[in-house]
Amino acid sequence: MDKIQILEKQAIDAAFSNQWEKAIKINKQILTLDKNNLEAILRLGFAYFQLQEFKQAKKIYQHGLKIQPNNPVIIKYLEKI
């Protein structure tokens, strides 16, 4: 298991435990290793959304749209914001 896979598991565990600050920290670590990791972008945007940090969520989701312009999850959350 590589470093990103380990961090992904930790990020998912943090989200399932509603530990959004921890999830944000871990997903940011993933993005420092792979700035275009779409799954980390989705998780990070969702964590910000859960904390009602909509400005940050929007910024992250807009980055995700550059990678995958028609991603339905990103579009859905941008509409909610």
Residue 1: is its pLDDT beyond 80?
A: no
What secondary structure letter does DSSP report for 68?
Answer: S
Which residues 6+ apart lie within 8 Å of 75 measured at CB? Answer: 65
Average pLDDT (25-47) is: 97
- Residues 2 and 80: their CA atoms lie apart, in Å, by 35
* Total-model pTM: 0.94
Check if the beta carbon of residue 76 is closer than 8 Å to that of residue 45. Answer: no
Residue 14: is its pLDDT beyond 80?
A: yes
